[in-house]
Homo-oligomer: A and B are copies of this chain.
Amino acid sequence: MYNSVTKGPSSFQGSSRMKSCITNAVSNFFFEYETPRQVLVRSKRVGVVCRLIQLGVLAYIIGWVFIYEKGYQSTDTAVSSVFTKMKGVGYTNVNGEERIWDEADYVFPVQGDSSFVVMTNYIITKEQKIGKCPELHPSYVSAPLPPTPTPPHSAHTHTPTTGKMTGRCLMDSKTCEVLAWCPVEDDSNIPDPALLISAENYTLFIKNSVNFPLYKVRRSNLVEGINMQYIKSCLYDPEKDPLCPIFRLGDLVKMSGYNFSTIAREGGAIGIVIDWTCNLDYAESECCPTYTFHGLYGDAGEKDKARASVGYNFRYTQHYMEDSMEKRNLLKVFGIRFDIIVRSEARKFDIIPTLMAIGSGVGIFGVVSSALYILKSKAYKNLMEPTLC
């Protein structure tokens, strides 16, 4: 053995001294190699410890990195696009004036975006025209203490909320005069129940296509088997019809933990998350969306009430000419805002992360071993040499 050691280097140096021929150097490079001398130690305790460590690392690499964390796969997120379409007709009868609301009138914006508002309640101020009138609507003034109109939106204002001060203040109505669209809006009390409570029965149709560029995979939420016949009849249900792309508004509200009559009155916001978590090592057709629904701004409406901002509303006008004078109808719209959010993660086997995982796993093995080094070198002073697994 010892000879082989001495012979090795000496012959190496000899040969290189004798003739510095490249071919020979190459053959040396190829046909010689070094290896540490191994000692076979027989020891119950150390042996068991060593094996357990090795098994532990092995278990970690296989179990955690591979099975749990899927470390052998690469991931990609999708390019996605969403279209929506509401369906349903609303009917209101405000002091004898009947009115029909169809999707062209109650959806903002009309063109089917992924984020839109469905009107469920409104305060209309008709035939406003530019003029001079008291800043606050009489209903506020007469009230013992005037309620701030729909916090917090009028809260953060440092200019009059409705118009431009003319400087004159009216004793009789206890407010100052403004140049504004008159008469000014009176939003002191919101219609209860909501005027368009029937919105509960509207249906929402969602079209969503995702595209995983890395894997060249394109999917639509109208997956295999969802044909026109099915869509005609189906309605989304978490258990029975989890893939039906048609949702009843009432169900959406319930599933996101709201009470419809409340949200319809003051307005609110609901997120519809379409989740595409796909393992493309399986068949493409198994890559299907799952829909989840959650009220935005924290789950408990209570917590929010205590907080700053409740409800969802905005103002909207229809301008028209009458007697060659511009007039407008002002609608304060309370509605449910839907944000359709697409989350996507596709995974597929890839050699690089696999090797990375293995590599680091082995590295960890080294750490653990050397960690036990001191321990053992202490434990085995009787041995001539400290030992490694």
Contact = CB atoms under 8 A, between A and B. Distances in A.
25 contacts: A5-B384, A8-B39, A9-B386, A12-B40, A29-B51, A31-B44, A33-B40, A37-B385, A81-B115, A83-B312, A91-B163, A98-B179, A110-B316, A111-B117, A111-B333, A155-B228, A155-B232, A156-B232, A158-B203, A205-B309, A211-B271, A220-B307, A359-B360, A359-B361, A360-B363
A79 B342 CA distance: 9
Interface stretch (A137-145, A186-194, A258-266, A350-358): A350-358
Contact of A152 (B218, B231, B366): B231
A83 B48 CA distance: 62
Contacts of A237: none
A81 B269 contact: yes
B320 A319 contact: yes
Given A5-B37, A230-B308, A359-B360, 12 more contacts: A9-B386, A36-B38, A36-B388, A87-B161, A89-B162, A105-B317, A111-B116, A207-B297, A226-B308, A355-B364, A356-B356, A359-B359
B104 A316 contact: yes
Interface in A261-287: 269, 271, 273
A307 B363 contact: no
A252 interface: no
A278 to B, nearest CB: 16
Contacts of A317: 104-105
B47 A315 contact: no
Contacts of A329: 319
A239 interface: no
A152 B164 CA distance: 37
How many copies of the shown chain assemble into the complex? 3
> From DSSP, what is the main secondary structure of chain A's interface residues?
mixed
Contacts of A355: 60, 360-361, 364
Nearest to A108: B111
A302 interface: no
A172 interface: no
A247 B211 CA distance: 23
Interface string A199-215: 00101010101010100
A314 B367 CA distance: 64
Nearest to A340: B81
A280 to B, nearest CB: 17
B308 A153 contact: no
A298 interface: yes
Closest 8 pairs (CB-CB, A-B)? A8-B40, A359-B360, A359-B363, A36-B36, A362-B363, A104-B315, A35-B387, A155-B232
A381 B12 CA distance: 12
B31 A35 contact: no
